[in-house]
Amino acid sequence: MQDTLRLISSYLPPKRLYSAAKIYLDYRLSLLLRRSIVNAHPPALMIEPTNICNLSCPLCPSGSGELKRARGMMDLQLFKDITDQVHKHIGMFILWNQGEPYLNPAFNQMVSYASSKGIYTMTSTNGSLEMNPDEIIDSGLNRIIFSLDGTKAESYEQYRIGGDFELVKRNIAELTRAKRNRASKTPHIVWQFILMSHNEDEIKEAREMAKQLGVDKLEFKTVQIYDKEDIAFLPSKHQFSRYKHSKDKFELKTKLLNRCRRLWTQPVINWDGELAICCYDKDLLFPIGNIRDHSFLSLWKSAKMNKIRRTILRSRKDIEICRNCGEGIVQKIKLRT
């Protein structure tokens, strides 16, 4: 509840509240009229600190080496420039995309700068690197998601290739301990567990381990696959998957609708300043422009963005990256500890 209240409070400044309300109305009108209407900033912005990763997860474009974009890290000045442009209107920064955020040496400084502007900050980490809990707390980070897909090293290492199970557990435990010792309310600590065929029977054990680690929330997430060779990762239990599948075919359970809130509410700025339409455009197939050369608002309301929005509203299936998108249909089992 406290985490939710902190998120809500980040939207109390009048300009942020107006933008959030206005873009919501714009989205509803766009659905009704089947044309792109955008007259305000999005409520949230995803910013990619880096697309480099220290793991080799087989279903991740970055970890598997299939990501086609150039690799690199966002510099602190670019992050500050972005923040200075949008902080009066945007209340939340989602600080990840492809890659491991904490590999960027300036990451805690980025969080601190955004926090100083009253922006709600959240990140997602594999936790398989040395982390300083006091620096995380001091940065002002509001929420941190740890990816830990298993309750024992054997199951964890089947997917998180190159990861260190004990190190992730230690990082979580040390952060929860530091929060407690310092009587800090932040960050809100989430353990995210992707359900796959090799770990779907560990839910009970995960609940117990979550209590031992002291996390604020345990969240089970469905796995995303890309081709028929990946079907082996899908859980056997129907309720744990976003797909219906056979041995060599799979498809999303739910019909693909001609709508997507992300195109109105959550754009992405990649590490090099390129604006992406959403986090599913991993290889920047739809380049909009670079924040170094144009203002955020001009890119957000540009003809290129509006063309994509119109396509989404009329025939979303025509956009290949949308055909395997979990927007609006991803099934999760969330357990508070």
Task: Summarize pLDDT for 284-325 with one digit per residue, the tens.
Answer: 999 999 999 999 999 999 999 999 999 999 999 999 999 988
Mean of all residue pLDDT scores within the chain: 95
Fold of 2-336: TIM Barrel (3.20.20)
Tokens for 84, please give them: 């200075």
The pLDDT of residue 332: 60
Portion of the chain with pLDDT greater than 70, in percent: 97
**Kind and range of the H or E run holding 212:** helix 203-213
The pLDDT of residue 213: 98
Distances (CA, A) of 14 to 91, 119, 160, 268: 11, 14, 43, 24
The pLDDT of residue 335: 42
Write out 322-334 in H/E/C secondary structure: HCCCCCCCCCEEE
pLDDT at 333 over 60: no
Q: For 132-163, what is each residue's pLDDT tens digit?
A: 999 999 999 999 999 999 999 999 999 999 99
Dump the DSSP string for 33-62.
HTS----S--SEEEE-SBS--S---TT-HH
Residue with the bigger pLDDT between 29 and 228: it is 29
* 280, 325 contact by CB (below 8 A): yes
The pLDDT of residue 328: 63
Across residues 40-51, what is the average pLDDT?
A: 98
Residue 260, Cα to own-chain centre: how many angstroms? 16
Q: Which of 105, 153, 98, 100 is nearest to 132 (CA)?
A: 105
Across residues 105-116, what is the average pLDDT?
A: 99
Residue with the bigger pLDDT between 327 and 188: it is 188
Q: For 165-205, what is each residue's pLDDT tens digit?
A: 999 999 999 999 999 999 999 999 999 999 999 999 999 99
Sequence spans of domains, the chain: 2-336
pLDDT band, residue 336 (cuts 50/70/90): very low
Q: For 238-272, what is each residue's pLDDT tens digit?
A: 889 998 887 788 888 888 899 999 999 999 999 99
pLDDT at 337 over 70: no
The pLDDT of residue 327: 74
